[in-house]
């Protein structure tokens, strides 16, 4: 039982030693909502109901914590409150649903004792199970991705809408339909077996990588990155690797995320301003993530070399590109010719225009800006890249390197107008302003890094900002992801 402070008629404003309860509720929700919902799905066997119960617990916290104080274990408090409400609801609905009544009886004692540890001791499995549920075959690819970003990534409808380049109302309707479809299919009642996991694997890998990319380069808002999302995606990737050790692309995705994540600390300065790949302090790259990533890549390539596998898949190829950056002790030591070759192979596997954008960056770094611009200009009229800010961003970089500064400035300003991320917009406007000076700019593989995953970030063109396949979250294609690759 948590100890709570006795409420008084008046309490002073919170100080550093007495945290603001509302801020504490919001912080706990950001950190724990995924685990809370995932644990409740296991209990109530209904995704929509689990989310409603979690929201009810949040409302209860907002009402009670300001007066009673912040519990010693806020996450456990939320889980306890949600489970009690579930039990109450099951009992009220007993006449309508005998199945719910049975669950309520089973959980009654547990809820009364507030045995929260029992509800969260399998949290990793709960979250991964939730991902598999979100990728249920009864849902369209768009619905799978949208639901995962909402329930696992914690993104708002507005943030998801920006990612899909659609309206908030459309996303809200999609979420409602998706949860209703899962309820009708009784998706949360089942535990995916080996065959079902294999069938959903492509979708699961895609949404996990999309989650990582949202953390690596946030779609919108003030923050350049959301590291907690990267950590969650990496954790899910590790669990999946243990669950499916013979799947090369599972290890490929883990390698990709580990290698990309190694650069997180170096991707922004002390003031939060983005730092481009070639300007990053490589001594700040995380050695543990690098080691894990290279080990996972070795496993993926070994499994891909077997007759049954055929050839490396998209995630493994992207991880190989990220490894080229990881192994280079300096920007000058980067093997851009190999990176360009790997992007060419990746383009054949994926058919993604974002990969071609990244390849243009690699060609420019390997053979000069003219080579990259030639390929880039072939992509200008592709519908898939219309509205994609990294296309004019990369073009501005290459034009600037060719001395065509006026054209470069226009492209950077166009890119700035397209992005919803405030940090990235500021960076692009700074680059536009720099084109007015006579001082040559340093070539940056900006696009590469920042592109989106389907965007598979080029690795080079952008500050590391390229997002994964975000341009088409719907498909969440592996290869399209981007982070990893460029930066």
Give pLDDT, residue 272.
81
Which residues are CB-contacts of 74 (< 8 A; sequence separation ≥ 6)? 24, 25, 28, 32, 61
Q: Tell me the average pLDDT across 17-44.
A: 73
Give pLDDT, residue 7.
38
**Listed residue (236, 239, 295, 240) closest to 262, CA to CA:** 295
Write out the DSSP string of 210-251: HHHHHHHS-SEES-S--HHHHHHHHHHHHHHHHHSTT-HHHH
Give pLDDT, residue 412.
95
Give pLDDT, residue 343.
96
Place of tokens 């170096």: 266
Which pair of tokens denotes residue 125? 């499995």
Does the pLDDT value for residue 189 go beyond 50? yes
- Higher per-residue pLDDT: 450 or 45: 45
H/E segment holding residue 22: helix 21-44
Give pLDDT, residue 167.
87
Q: What is the dihedral of CA 328, 330, 333, 339, to 10 degrees?
A: 50
Does the pLDDT value for residue 33 go beyond 80? no
Does the pLDDT value for residue 346 go beyond 50? yes
Do residues 367 and 450 make contact, with C-beta atoms less than 8 angstroms apart? no
Confidence of residue 251 (pLDDT cuts 50, 70, 90): very high
Q: How far apart are CA 295 and CA 440, in angstroms?
A: 39
- Residues composing the chain: 487
What's the pLDDT tens digit per position in 434-475? 997 544 444 455 444 433 444 333 333 333 433 433 333 333
Does the pLDDT value for residue 181 go beyond 60? yes
Give pLDDT, residue 421.
84
Give pLDDT, residue 478.
34
Q: Rounded to 5 degrees, what are φ and ψ at 222? A: -85, -25
Confidence of residue 151 (pLDDT cuts 50, 70, 90): confident
What's the pLDDT tens digit per position in 259-298? 999 999 999 888 888 888 889 999 999 999 999 999 999 9
Q: How far apart are CA 240 and CA 253, in angstroms?
A: 10
Write out the DSSP string of 252-315: HHHHHHHHHHTTGGGSB-TTS-B--GGGS-GGGS-HHHHHHHHHHHHHHHHHHTSTTT-S--HH
Q: Which DSSP category does 93 fall into?
A: T
Classify residue 13 as exposed, middle or buried by CB count within 10 Å of its CB (0-12, 13-18, 19+). exposed
Q: Tell me the average pLDDT across 393-413.
A: 95
Give pLDDT, residue 467.
40
Does the pLDDT value for residue 119 go beyond 50? no
Q: Tell me the average pLDDT across 35-57.
A: 81
Query: Coil, helix or strand for 465?
Result: coil
Does the pLDDT value for residue 201 go beyond 70? yes
Q: Tell me the average pLDDT across 236-251.
A: 89
Q: Tell me the average pLDDT across 364-374.
A: 95
What's the pLDDT tens digit per position in 317-340? 999 999 999 999 999 999 999 999
Give pLDDT, residue 437.
59
Give pLDDT, residue 443.
46
Which pair of tokens denotes residue 391? 């296309």
Classify residue 26 as exposed, middle or buried by CB count within 10 Å of its CB (0-12, 13-18, 19+). middle
H/E segment holding residue 47: helix 47-68
- Residue 462 pairs in a beta bridge with none
Q: Which of 48-62, 201-215, 414-428, 453-467 has the lowest mean pLDDT?
A: 453-467
Q: Tell me the average pLDDT across 207-222.
A: 80
Which pair of tokens denotes residue 115? 């045995």
Q: Which of 61-75, 112-126, 256-270 has the lowest mean pLDDT?
A: 112-126
pTM above 0.85, yes or no: no
- Mean pLDDT of the residues in the chain: 78
Does the pLDDT value for residue 175 go beyond 90? yes
Q: How far apart are CA 432 and CA 427, in angstroms?
A: 9
Do residues 428 and 412 make contact, with C-beta atoms less than 8 angstroms apart? yes
Does the pLDDT value for residue 184 go beyond 90? no
Give pLDDT, residue 96.
55
Give pLDDT, residue 3.
41
Give pLDDT, residue 102.
56
What's the pLDDT tens digit per position in 407-438? 999 999 999 999 888 888 999 999 999 997 54
Confidence of residue 156 (pLDDT cuts 50, 70, 90): confident
């Amino acid at each position: 039982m948590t100890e709570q402070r006795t409420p008084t008629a008046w309490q002073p404003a919170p100080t550093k030693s007495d945290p603001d309860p509302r801020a504490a509720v919001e912080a706990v929700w950001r950190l724990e909502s995924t685990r809370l919902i995932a644990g409740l799905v296991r209990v109530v066997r209904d995704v929509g109901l689990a989310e409603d119960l979690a929201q009810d617990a949040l409302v209860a916290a907002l009402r009670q914590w300001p007066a009673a104080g912040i519990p010693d274990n806020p996450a456990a408090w939320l889980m306890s409150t949600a489970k009690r409400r579930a039990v109450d609801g099951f009992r009220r609905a007993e006449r309508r649903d005998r199945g719910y009544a049975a669950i309520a009886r089973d959980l009654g004692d547990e809820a009364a004792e507030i045995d929260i540890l029992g509800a969260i001791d399998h949290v990793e499995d709960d979250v991964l199970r939730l991902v598999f549920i979100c990728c249920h075959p009864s849902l369209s690819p768009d619905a799978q991705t949208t639901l995962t970003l909402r329930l696992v990534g914690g993104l708002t409808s507005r943030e998801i809408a920006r990612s899909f380049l659609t309206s908030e109302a459309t996303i809200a309707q999609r979420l409602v339909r998706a949860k209703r479809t899962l309820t009708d299919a009784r998706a949360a009642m089942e535990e995916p077996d080996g065959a079902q996991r294999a069938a959903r694997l492509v979708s699961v890998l895609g949404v996990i990588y999309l989650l990582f990319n949202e953390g690596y380069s946030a779609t919108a808002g003030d923050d350049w990155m959301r590291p907690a999302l990267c950590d969650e995606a990496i954790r899910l990737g590790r669990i999946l690797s243990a669950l499916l050790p013979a799947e090369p692309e599972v290890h490929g995705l883990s390698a990709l995320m580990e290698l990309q994540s190694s650069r997180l600390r170096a991707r922004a300065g002390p003031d939060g301003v983005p730092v481009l790949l070639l300007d990053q302090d490589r001594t700040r790259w995380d050695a543990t993530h690098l080691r894990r990533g290279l080990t996972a890549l070795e496993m993926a390539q070994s499994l891909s070399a077997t007759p049954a596998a055929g050839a490396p898949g998209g995630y493994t190829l992207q991880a190989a590109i990220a490894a080229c950056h990881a192994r280079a002790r300096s920007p000058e030591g980067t093997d851009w010719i190999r990176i360009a070759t790997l992007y060419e192979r990746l383009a054949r596997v994926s058919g993604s225009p974002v990969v071609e954008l990244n390849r243009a960056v690699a060609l420019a770094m390997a053979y000069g800006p003219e080579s990259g611009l030639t390929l880039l200009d072939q992509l200008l009229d592709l519908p898939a890249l219309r509205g994609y800010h990294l296309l004019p961003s990369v073009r501005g970089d290459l034009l600037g390197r060719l001395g065509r500064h006026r054209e470069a400035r226009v492209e950077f300003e166009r890119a700035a107008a397209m992005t919803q991320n405030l940090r990235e917009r500021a960076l692009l406007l700074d680059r536009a302003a720099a084109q007015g000076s006579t001082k040559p700019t340093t070539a940056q593989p900006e696009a590469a890094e920042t592109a989106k995953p389907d965007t598979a970030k080029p690795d080079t063109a952008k500050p590391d900002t390229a997002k994964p396949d975000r341009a088409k979250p719907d498909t969440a294609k592996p290869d399209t992801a981007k982070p990893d690759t460029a930066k």
